[in-house]
Chain A
Amino acid sequence: MILKNCRFIITQDDKRTILENKDLKINEETKTIEEIGAELAKEPSEKIIDCSTHVVMPGLVNPHIHLFTFQLREHIVNSWNELWNKARELERNILKLRTYWNKALSLIATLGFTTIAPTEICYDKFQENINTFIGIIGGPFIFRKPDRMIGKIVHVSSILNIGPELFKELVDEAFKRNTMVSIHISNTRNEVFEFKRKYGKFPIEYLESIDALRENVILVGLEWVTSWELKKIANNNCKVVLIPSCSMLYALGGLPPIIEFIGEKITLGLGTCSFTCNSPFIFHECKALLYYIRTSYWSFKLTAQQVLDIITLGNTRILNIKGGTITEGEPANLTIINLKHGNLAPVSMKNIVQNLILYSEPYNIEFTVVRGRLYSPRKNIFRKSF
């Protein structure tokens, strides 16, 4: 398959090259990017997609999303604790949960994601916890299930809620199985206060004390992380997922020190977390992140390119999967954005990254390529009534 005459290809290679009016050849057998160049269509039988009004970028990855929270949109939720208390109630109605889970999947398929890591709430049952998963999704068949499971992840929403014994049991078992662990942590001032009161330590200090700061640990939120904890995160090569809409909507008290995270070379990703916070379109999160950081720091230190790096290179590294760049031999997971809508205009090589981050809307997403196959999610997806 050839994506012909792509208006722009955002490669996210080491030099952050943006190519203009080039072809991109996909090998559907190896499911990889075969070649990028000019006039690649040689055989008349080759499937050709005209991309002369499109931007091709690495497939969007969402490293932190709770699909079950789609059901929470039925409620008005006015605090972080209320959100999780409501979530616990939802567990009891599995049938309803599954219905909303499918609806959530069909919604996010329209948003250009090629990989998601849904983390569901089953924190008091180890076996179910271990069965939360990372899956590659895309295309109409996602009504039933993700196309392919590519990994497992244990997610803990609140150490304080499940208690230190169960938490230790969970992470030890996960580490034994070499499974990634994702933890919502340091999200509220009250949580930090309770950690200090109960354990005499700040949350990250606590994780270090039980040997739970490791390379395959993903720390989510970190709104109240301190400067000395940040060093511990860096020294232990833990990964961090930011959830800006969630942090702001639930009045968590700000975002973590992202400029300092970048300075410490900590792997940063961007997730959408609860469906009650956002669309969940990742470019809206990008915009929220950029707005918040510039407001908070009173500076332009965080650039649109850095935000793009977070959602491409960062999000793939968070999940320890290949991709995040468009280079020959890499997996053919792509997001294809149509420029025909006026909201992104005017575009040039110089401003395309900035315009995508600031002005993209879900309707700009026209195709995704998932493991070498082309999908047109917006055309096929809305069979199910909302």
Chain B
Amino acid sequence: MEAISFPLLGRQAPDFEAVTTHGALRLSDYKGTWLVLFSHPADFTPVCTTEFMAFAEIYGELKKRNTELLGLSIDSVSSHIAWVRNIEEKMGIKIPFPIIADLNKEIALKYGMIHPDQSKTETVRCVFVIDPESKIRAILYYPLTTGRNMQEILRLIDALQTTDKYKVATPANWKPGDPVVIPAPVTTEGAEERLKEGYECKEWYLCMKKL
């Protein structure tokens, strides 16, 4: 049985060199940019086609966030090429990002993209947000039946980049422009001080501010 490993948040993303529709690419080629590495179950399938069109539609927004997209499935590069040409011809949407042809499942296994109870031969709908230092910063796993929400992926990247820039956290349903969360104090003295620091506090451990 093939060994499946799962990347962990905060760890270095597993390295790879991949055959893609844009030539041979390595993870290190993305150093200095954010990367959304995502898998889809198979080319020429309905939900995946809607997702690819949706990923293409947010590509411009991702570029504004210094973020690249890289798809993956266990299909050949010829299949990928035929599919993206078909999407362009029939749906009028050009797929601007590369897609990995992971026929030997090497990358899929490293990234825990195959969940045997969903499918033994297809990758589930994974999203790995990898930062400019090649660290895994966020992971999403969706089942074969459920297409992903592109606005959530953008929101997630906005939140991560806001955290990095301002050293703050983001609350539930946060979107850019909303107040952010000040990390909670870790000492009783800090808790006492927090309430005097001028933030908008519900409690000593829940204080927010506008950026």
Partners in one complex: no
* B contact residues vs A (CB 8 Å cutoff): none
